[in-house]
Structure 1
Amino acid sequence: MVPTEPHDPIGATWAGGRILSPGETAVRADDHSVVVGDGVFEATGVLDGVPFALTRHLARLARSAAGLGIQTPDDARIREAVAEVIAADRRAGLLRITWSSGPGPLGSGRGDGPGTLVLSTGPGNVWPATERVHLGPWVRNEHGALTGLKTTSYAENAKALAVAHRRGCTEALFRNTAGHLCEGTSTNVFLVVDDVLVTPPLSSGCLAGVTRDLLLELVDVVERDVALDEIEVASEAFLSSATRDVSSIAAVDDHDLPMAPGPVTTAVAAAFADLVARTPDP
């Protein structure tokens, strides 16, 4: 465990090649991450000063940048910045890496300058033992230009989650244009149906979550289209993400799941916890 002192700062920001002072500006007002959300990002938990699955997260960051059509960030530079920002926040429980297309016009057209890299840390998230989630009315477009990319264009997620919070839920789920279950605002979703663990395929429009990928390698999961009415016949369900790991779903709106957590969720969570304990960068 990384030793900390009571006076150690909570939260740090790296930008422009250095650690910023508290409250110091990290990006320009005309940076396209601000102007139009033209950027990509990753977030992961930090355990004892080590960001979990950093290699996988950086690989997805590069894929998202390439998919968005912006310059690919430098892996070595990011790793150096990660070491610096975590050293500046020895209490870090969460790391976020943001890469944008850089400064540009006050519109959709991109500038021709270098990209902007910003890293920040903060305390880890605390989730309830089981979660109530809301199935929202909006759809994910599985054929959209940003499908499968983790971009900073997150307004629809923010809106859906705000609605879920007003309903007393901690996450919102999306359906896709075909009417199948897709994903949450920042999570992938798994159901146990007829004693089989299933999750929507990437063709549904969901993001290839790092935790999702690891779970597919750890346990038996069937990737298939999941009809919305299967929620009502599922014996258990859970969410996965880099900040939640494996989190049991107790209810979807007014429908209570029979078991939360059930035996499958408990076993999957234990297998993932064992992986985290054994391998910080699987």
Structure 2
Amino acid sequence: MTPVIWVGGVLVDATQPSVSAVDHGVTVGDGVFETCRVDDGAPFALTRHLARLRRSAEGLGLDAPDDGTIRCAVREVLAAAPDAGRLRITVTAGLGPLGSQRTPGEQTIVVAASEAGASRPARVVRAPWVRNERSAVAGLKTTSYAENVVALRYASERGGDEAVLANTHGELCEGTGSNVFVERGGELLTPPLSSGCLAGITRELLLEWAADDGLAVREAEAGELGFEVLDDVLDGRAQLLITNSVRDAQAVTSLDGVDLEAGPVSLAAEQLFARRRAAQVDP
């Protein structure tokens, strides 16, 4: 399907210019965004996504985006895109200079919907770069995605479709667009937010729903998951699962080109998430 795009209050043709060349989101990546899965015309967990959008904006020093405006835009876009499987909401600082200094003014809001794309296996590659957990934008979902583009290209060149990174302390952190869970000792562990990873919505829901269901899934203690735990995965002593808003919860099928078996807790987590997501569109 052709993407359906809303900018500044109107639907626009996807092939036509609609954002200024001097928008600060274009020139320096001064913006934030969210991506939601869409099922039968309804965006999943929209309230949580909008709350994180506000947190990211505040972390960048931007005014909180107007929920009402965005919700109206979402309804308009999805009404025009009944087959959409993916929704993206982007908010930038608006017009600005050709440098990092921000000019106060009206924000740019873009809401776009497209098909979800083909389902992909989770083939992971270890990236040689690290996340800086002390960065000014650590944990924020910003449009400054160049690091992720480079790391994902690195993974793609090696047969993967996701790259995972350590932080500056050598701890397991996250993927370029996903959170990571390690299954070992009969439980699933995910790096703590102090590692510098994004507070993923799917990660958050899996932790909550697993607690409700009695499934052994928890946030690791600081330092509990070193990046070397991936050696245990390669040796079969541990397993991997990744989560994001399009994949949901997905067991990893290969690491650095080595085929992996899914762990029993990972498979149970996949099933739990699918069941709970189907039962509630905006948990």
* TM-score (norm. length: structure 1): 0.93
- For the aligned residue pairs, the C-alpha RMSD in angstroms reads 1.2
Given candidates 122, 126, 129, the residue that maps to 1:135 is 126
Cα distance in 2, alignment partners of residues 173 and 68 from structure 1: 25
2:223 is equivalent to residue 232 of structure 1: no
Deviation at 1:264, TM superposition (A): 1.2
Listed as ranges, the gaps of 5+ residues in structure 1 are: 1-8
Q: What number of residue pairs does the alignment pair up?
A: 271
- 2:21 counterpart of 1:18: no
Distance 1:254 1:168 in 2: 7
- Determine the structure 1 residue equivalent to 2:160: 169
Q: Does the alignment pair 1:86 with 2:78?
A: yes
Aligned to 2:213: none
Question: What amino acid does structure 1 have at the position aligned with 2:273?
Answer: F
Task: Name the CA distance, whole Å, in 2 between partners of 1:105 and 1:12.
Answer: 29
8 Å contact from structure 1 (residues 42, 96) kept in 2: yes
Amino acid at match of 1:19: L
Contact 2:159–2:257 under 8 Å retained in 1: no
Shift in Å, 1:254:
4.3
Tell me the distance in 1 between the aligned counterparts of 2:169 and 2:117.
33
Percent pairwise identity: 49
Between stretches 248-257 and 237-246, larger displacement belongs to 248-257
Moved more, 180-189 or 232-241: 232-241
In structure 2, C-alpha distance between the alignment counterparts of 1:154 and 1:213, rounded to whole Å: 22
The one-letter code sitting in structure 2 at the alignment partner of 1:65 is A
Per-residue displacement from partner, 1:180-230 (whole Å, max 9, x unpaired)?
Answer: 110000000001112221110000000000000000101132322311222
1:272 partner amino acid: F
Q: Secondary structure at the match of 2:228?
A: helix
5+ residue gaps, structure 2: 211-215
* 8 Å contact kept, 1:10–1:91: no
| Distance across 2 between alignment mates of 1:54 and 1:184 | 22
- CA distances 1:225-280 after superposition (whole Å, capped 9, x unpaired): 311222232432111000110111122214443x2x33211111111111111100
- The offset of 1:21, in angstroms, is 2.4
**Could you say what secondary structure the match of 1:233 adopts?**
helix
Shift of 1:22: 3.6
Out of 129, 137, 147, which is 1:146 matched to? 137
Q: How high is the TM-score relative to the length of structure 2?
A: 0.93
Taking the TM superposition and a 5 Å limit, the aligned residue runs for 1:168-247 are: 168-219=159-210, 220-224=216-220, 225-234=224-233, 235-247=238-250
How many angstroms does 1:125 deviate by? 3.0
Deviation at 1:111, TM superposition (A): 1.3
Letter in 1 for 2:227: L
Contact 2:165 / 2:172 at 8 angstroms: preserved in 1? yes
- The answer to whether the Cα contact below 8 Å between 1:193 and 1:230 also exists between their aligned partners in 2 is no
For residues 76 and 129 of structure 2, what CA distance do their matches in structure 1 show? 40
Q: Are 1:96 and 2:97 matched, yes or no?
A: no
TM-superposed CA distance for 1:141, in Å, is 0.4
- Residue 155 of structure 1 is aligned with which of 133, 146, 158? 146
